[in-house]
Amino acid sequence: MFKAMIYPPIKDFATFANGNWDGACIKTMMAIGVFCDDREMFDCAVDYYYHGAGNGRITHYIMNDIGQCQESGRDQGHVQLGLGQLAEACEIGWHQGQDMYGAADNRLLKGFEYTAKYLLGKDVPFVAHTDVTGKYFASEIAWRGRRRIRPIYEMVWNHYENRRGTKAPFTRQIAERIQPEGAANRSDHPGYGTLLFSIPKTAATAE
């Protein structure tokens, strides 16, 4: 069923759309690859995360080192959707021996920190830009959706701070604000991150 019904619509990703579409394709394809023991499918999705042509590639979605995201000028709901999709792909990859979280000097963390800081009511820099499709231009960060926090932060905070010992102060603050994480909006994400992803500090990172 996965290969016959779900895979065909996503096999070419979504190079025509905002990056959250690509993110959904990446994480779904990776999950199918794991479940069906299809290494070629899994590797294709991982390669797209690093090198894909669309907005969902890690360095296209989180477009610079300040952490600004391709959809930061659209609305904060879609930004969190895209970030959550990419984070979930990273978590799948982590359990298959892939450190996608660390790609491009922890670019995913920079996107989470930038977005969390803005959602916490703080100012962040913004660079006017046009996406890789040429269809979407943003001149300023979007206020819409700023008050609605998606349950995507606990997993990322636990990975960077407790697994790796890398500080994620704004991600931690926003995770703590909504603890315990509940169900995800429309099942876009696993949700329940406090239950599923809270982990103790490792011996290497414990103070």
Residue 199 — pLDDT band, cuts 50, 70, 90? confident
Residue 205 has pLDDT above 80, yes or no: no
- Between 84-88, 184-188, 192-196, the lowest mean confidence (pLDDT) is in 184-188
**To the nearest whole percent, how much of the chain has pLDDT over 90?**
94
Find out whether 96 and 46 touch, Cβ atoms under 8 Å: no
Q: Given a cut of 70, is residue 203 above it in pLDDT?
A: no
Write out pLDDT tens, residues 93-120. Answer: 999 999 999 999 999 999 999 999 999 9
What confidence tens digit (pLDDT) does each residue in 106-157 have? Answer: 999 999 999 999 999 999 999 999 999 999 999 999 999 999 999 999 999 9
Burial of 58 (0-12, 13-18, 19+ CB in 10 A): buried
3-class secondary structure per residue, the chain: CHHHHHHHHHCCCCCCCCHHHHHHHHHHHHHHHHHCCCHHHHHHHHHHHHHCCCCCCHHHHECCCCCCECCCCCCHHHHHHHHHHHHHHHHHHHCCCCCHHHHHHHHHHHHHHHHHHHHCCCCCCCCCEECCCCCCEECCCCCCCCCCCCCCHHHHHHHHHHHCCCCCHHHHHHHHHHCCCCCCHHHCCCCCHHHHHCCCCCCCCCC
Q: Is residue 78 part of a domain?
A: yes
pLDDT at 201 over 90: no
Domain for residue 1, yes or no?
Answer: no
> What is the reported pLDDT for 200?
82
Q: What confidence category does residue 91 fall into, taking pLDDT thresholds of 50, 70 and 90? A: very high
Residue 133 within any structural domain of the chain: yes
Number of domains making up the chain: 1
Please say if the pLDDT value at position 207 is more than 90: no
Identify whether 205 is part of a domain: no
pLDDT computed for residue 202 by the predictor: 67
* Residue 206 located in a structural domain: no
- Let me know if residue 150 belongs to a domain: yes
pLDDT over 70 at 204, yes or no = no
Percent of the chain with pLDDT strictly greater than 70: 97
Residue 67 maps to a domain: yes
Backbone dihedral angles phi then psi of residue 24, each to the nearest 5 degrees = -65, -40
Q: Is residue 203 part of a domain?
A: no
190 cis-preceded (ω within 30 degrees of 0): no
Residue-number span of the structural domain to which 118 is assigned: 7-197
What's the pTM value of the predicted model, to 2 decimals?
A: 0.96
